[in-house]
Chains A and B, each alone.
Chain A
Amino acid sequence: MDPMEAIKQTYFQECDELLLAMEEGLIAMETGEADSETINAVFRAVHSIKGGGGAFGFEILVGFSHVFETAMDLVRSGKLDPTPDVVKVLLRAGDKLSDHVAAARNGTGAAVDDAEVKAELAKLTGEEPEDAGAPAPAEFEGLAFAPVMIDIGDEEPVAPPCPVWHVRFGPHAALYAKANEPYLLIRELGMLGPIEVTADLSKLPELSALEPEQAYFSWDVVVRDCPDRTKVEEVFEFVSGDCDLEITEETPEPAAAPAMISAPGLPSLDDDEPAAMPAAEAQPEEKKVATPTETKATTVDVIKQTIRVDLDKVDRLVNLVGELVITQAMLSQRILDSVQQGQTVSAGLGELEHLLRELQEAVMAIRTQPVKSVFQRMPRLVRETAAQTGKEVRLEIEGEATEVDKTVIERLGEPLTHMIRNAVDHGLETPEERVAAGKPAEGTVKLSAEHRGGRIVIEVADDGRGINRTKVRQKAIERGLITPNSNLSDEEIDNLIFLPGFSTATTVSNISGRGVGLDVVRRNIMDLGGRITIGSNTGKGSKFSLTLPLTLAVLDGMIVAVGEQTFVLPLSHIIESLLPKSSDVKAFGSNGMLLNVRGVYVPLVSVGRLLRVPGASYDLQNSVVILVESEGVGRMALAVDAIVGQRQVVIKSFESNIGHIDGIAAATILGDGRVALILDIDGLVAGCREGTGGRPTEYQQALGA
């Protein structure tokens, strides 16, 4: 790849991080928790986005970030008080900046409508928006050197005789202290044209009086064949103020008298000259600005060292470790099969297994990331949705440090967006309705994440009106999703909203609508091996719960034998295994069975019969029953021939090759090299309930899978 293209990608990655940091900082400012370092970080974020944007020629982006940066500069220097109103403008500016970055990234050049925000920012800074892009306040102009690239090659002089420049250059001690070197400057002059150099050593004192860090020499340089005065001036750009400098022009025409012209670009030939004053004035102010940063810097926590690893490399590593696990299992199987006396061998194997497992966990950990990166996008979403719906919303975020596999993170954004929009748009009432209901006008949406039982659970809870069950039920009947006499629990009614084509809003708003229904969200989540449910408390609010596996690469499974086949049951779904007494098994319906588990009847299904496995035992008396639970749907008892063991298995998805198979989640390779199918418990439970209840199929499929 073109190196600049690669850097551009880095730039956009960095922009993402900077935008997050900026948003985080602005939100801290909003809640009044921001210290000066936080404000500085926001400034730096905007500054860096602008800087990189300039390098790639994103002029619109640079123009906007300049105005934003100016405002942030005032805030960090204490000239602009970050009142709630000011922060509100800054937050909106942050959103716009994010849009600008997105527009630059897509390369569409799609215009971001930033005029309004820009005007508000300009109001804060007191700058005219039109002038916002102007490089420098006028009083500094004397110090800002003209932009360098004036290509004299393009503009052939109309053959006036080339002037000769007489440069008188006397460095001060300060020039040397800043590591400038007269020799290099003279060499630079030599690159402009032929030069004659004369050193003036007259000021050199006796050796005894010589101060080693003082400056005693000066030089006279005659430069020929250089038509451009600015080129000569430019050579001394870095040292103006630290030397005596005179540049005089001598036109070789005999008539013209040598004229002494002071260099406009070099105002401070003498420190006492008034031209140097703006600089002197500017300094104390700048110092004041930066002091808090410096004192603060020592107390800031050391930034965590991070590495960036190409995901492909990590994936290869993960895959490799997976293979290693398989090899280990195979070895272990062979040894157990063939060697009875292999005590020490198996101890060694145990160790190997232990180490491998640790290695695997460590490698998987490389891929995990805090959900923060996704959560951080939500405050903006809430702000925008609230503004569009005229609601007052406060977003509380909890557990954003919870880590989960990168692939899961990447696919979390869309469902979360949907859940949050839904909570604000449908869940919360308008401020008036809330006040009438005796609630605070401002509604609360709480977004939280935590690890629970090897899975990540993300919840979006609002304190709104809750689900109107009568309305939902009625709607479901209208749409033919349930029959009028269906007997549904409250929970089941709530979850009807996930059915395809279901929408309770009488008019589909463009907020939650967006063409994607909750059914699609739910399907996407189920594709990730997760599930989503909603719970509701009338008048008090509703809560979306989303659970996902932490990783999509390995799982702890129970290996079971059914006939000639071996299957894997995800351990996370297993509650217990038991040997049923024949008196506990009851026939139900035409060919259904129920198992009495300590007084509770659970559907009982023979895996062998369900999947038509050759050689499976149909005799329940000789079967082992494994009680499994599908989250939110219910329990089921699975009869298998025997339990083989418990093992971590590497998931080999076959959906890309074979497609989806009901009741089967994926496959794995066992120690003996055979392929075993991993059962999809959720799908089995749903399929099983289909056989026992009398409800429409669509509903069953929607609840399960």
Chain B
Amino acid sequence: MGKTILTVDDSRTMRDMLRLALSGAGHTVIQADDGVHGVEVLEKAGVVDVIITDINMPRMDGYGFIEHVRRGSANKMTPILVLTTESEPAKKMRARDAGATGWIVKPFDPEKLLAAIRRVSP
């Protein structure tokens, strides 16, 4: 069944790739360009099924965004997946400490992405 998924990434390329992979699997995709934008979009969108966020972003990075969401927004219990690379294990840990549910290693193939989503969302 299609889920509503918010992706937060400052890279247009990455946003496009996420949209392609997710909407191709029947999900509804909403997108934001950075943490601040993500918070704004979530305020309008209400509770979403899954959030996927990048770490390095202007204005508010992924850690700040996750902390903000976990600190008591409507999406406090929403699974959050972070986009990270294989070379950044420390980032994974830090994202987890901020409250991330899991991670997706870039560059991802759509299958891996969907598997990660399945693992965190019914």
Distance in angstroms between the alpha carbons of A99 and B73 in the assembled complex: 44
Identity of the chain B residue whose Cβ is nearest the Cβ of A176 in the assembled complex: B77
Contact A44 B20 (CB under 8 A): no
With a cutoff of 8 Å between Cβ atoms, the chain A residues found around residue B28 in the complex are: none
Distance (Å) between the CB of A240 and the closest chain B CB?
9
Identity of the chain B residue whose Cβ is nearest the Cβ of A140 in the assembled complex: B89
Distance (Å) between the CB of B64 and the closest chain A CB?
6
Q: Mark B8-48, 1 if CB is under 8 A from A, else 0.
A: 00111110110010000000000001011000000000000
Q: Mark B93-122, 1 if CB is under 8 A from A, else 0.
A: 110110111110111100010000011111
A to B contact number (C-beta, < 8 Å)? 139
Q: Mark B71-100, 1 if CB is under 8 A from A, else 0.
A: 000000111100001111111111011011
Contact B94 A179 (CB under 8 A): no
Q: Mark A188-220, 1 if CB is under 8 A from B, else 0.
A: 100000000000000000000000000000000
With a cutoff of 8 Å between Cβ atoms, the chain B residues found around residue A44 in the complex are: 10, 56-58
Distance (Å) between the CB of B78 and the closest chain A CB?
6
B70 within 8 A of A: yes
With a cutoff of 8 Å between Cβ atoms, the chain A residues found around residue B96 in the complex are: 178, 241-242
A297 within 8 A of B: yes
Q: What count of chain A residues pass the 8 Å CB interface test? A: 54
Contact partner of A177 among B35, B56, B70, B91, CB < 8 A? Answer: B70
A538 within 8 A of B: no
- Given contacts A10-B13, A297-B36, whether A143 and B119 have CB atoms under 8 Å apart is no
Q: Which stretch (A50-58, A483-491, A525-533) binds chain B?
A: A50-58
Interface of B is mostly: mixed
Distance in angstroms between the alpha carbons of A143 and B87 in the assembled complex: 11
Q: Which stretch (A286-294, A493-501, A603-611) binds chain B?
A: A286-294
A66 within 8 A of B: yes
Contact B14 A188 (CB under 8 A): no
- Given contacts A43-B56, A294-B61, whether A238 and B120 have CB atoms under 8 Å apart is yes
Q: Mark A235-246, 1 if CB is under 8 A from B, else 0.
A: 101100110000
Distance (Å) between the CB of B65 and the closest chain A CB?
11
Contact partner of B20 among A4, A37, A287, CB < 8 A? Answer: A4
- Given contacts A135-B86, A136-B86, whether A283 and B70 have CB atoms under 8 Å apart is no
Distance in angstroms between the alpha carbons of A238 and B115 in the assembled complex: 12
Contact A238 B102 (CB under 8 A): yes
Contact partner of B119 among A135, A136, A140, A184, CB < 8 A? Answer: A184
A270 within 8 A of B: no
Distance (Å) between the CB of A299 and the closest chain B CB?
10
Complex interface residues of chain A between 268 and 325 (CB less than 8 A to chain B): 279, 282-283, 285-287, 290, 293-294, 297, 300, 303
Contact A52 B61 (CB under 8 A): no
Contact partner of B93 among A54, A148, A149, A279, CB < 8 A? Answer: A279
Distance in angstroms between the alpha carbons of A576 and B74 in the assembled complex: 69
With a cutoff of 8 Å between Cβ atoms, the chain B residues found around residue A282 in the complex are: 90, 93-94
Contact partner of B107 among A3, A54, A177, A293, CB < 8 A? Answer: A54
With a cutoff of 8 Å between Cβ atoms, the chain A residues found around residue B17 in the complex are: 7, 55
A166 within 8 A of B: no
Distance (Å) between the CB of B18 and the closest chain A CB?
10
Distance (Å) between the CB of B80 and the closest chain A CB?
7
Instruction: List 13 A-B residue pairs with CB atoms under 8 Å apart, sorted by A's residue number.
Output: A7-B13, A7-B16, A40-B58, A41-B58, A44-B56, A47-B56, A48-B10, A144-B86, A179-B77, A279-B93, A287-B94, A294-B61, A297-B64
Supplied contacts A44-B56, A136-B87, 5 more A-B pairs, CB within 8 Å: A180-B102, A181-B122, A279-B93, A294-B60, A294-B64
B residues in contact (CB < 8 Å) with A: 10-14, 16-17, 20, 33, 35-36, 56-61, 63-64, 70, 77-80, 85-94, 96-97, 99-103, 105-108, 112, 118-122
A residues in contact (CB < 8 Å) with B: 3-4, 6-7, 10-11, 13-14, 37, 40-41, 43-44, 47-48, 51-52, 54-55, 66, 135-136, 140, 143-144, 147-149, 177-181, 183-185, 188, 235, 237-238, 241-242, 279, 282-283, 285-287, 290, 293-294, 297, 300, 303
